[in-house]
């Protein structure tokens, strides 16, 4: 099996967290954010935010994902994540994928 390539906008940290460099700075309550660090979720957290897909709408799944990612991130809200440009939200999703492979 080949090792996964880490995009240049991600840093895999020694404490098993992942730092995402955003494509541009964003304002979070008066604080300029140029990166977001996600810690690895526990199995319980993953289950908490992953209900059966036949019981929730796609919009609700998106909201749950934003809540889960915000709970793992360093000082950002679900609203902040929902307001990221798609490019940067995709970067956060890619960072999360490093916890599941």
Q: What is the mean pLDDT of residues 35-58?
A: 76
In a domain, 2, yes or no: no
Q: How many whole angstroms separate alpha carbon 2 and alpha carbon 73?
A: 29
Amino acid 47: pLDDT: 74
Measured from the Cβ of residue 84, the count of other Cβ atoms closer than 10 Å reads 20
Domain that holds residue 89: 10-97
Q: How confident is the model at residue 32 (pLDDT cuts 50, 70, 90)?
A: very high
Residue 26 within a domain: yes
7 versus 45: the higher-pLDDT residue is 7
Q: Within a domain: residue 1?
A: no
Residue 60 vs residue 22, higher pLDDT: 22
Structural domain includes residue 47:
yes
pLDDT, averaged across the chain: 87
pLDDT digits (tens, 9 = 90+) for 52-86: 555 666 555 557 889 899 999 988 999 999 999 99
Please report the pLDDT score of residue 87 as a whole number: 98
Residue 3 domain flag:
no
Based on the structure, what is the number of domains in the chain?
A: 1
């Amino acid at each position: 099996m080949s090792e996964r390539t880490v995009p240049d906008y991600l840093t895999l940290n020694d404490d098993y967290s992942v730092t995402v460099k955003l494509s541009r700075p964003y304002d979070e309550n008066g604080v300029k954010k140029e990166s977001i660090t996600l810690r690895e979720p526990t199995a319980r957290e993953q289950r908490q935010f992953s209900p059966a897909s036949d019981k929730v709408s796609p919009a609700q799944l998106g909201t749950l994902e934003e809540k889960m990612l915000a709970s793992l991130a360093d000082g950002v809200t679900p609203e902040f994540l929902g307001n990221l440009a798609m490019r940067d939200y995709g970067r956060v999703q890619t960072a999360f994928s490093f916890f599941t492979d």
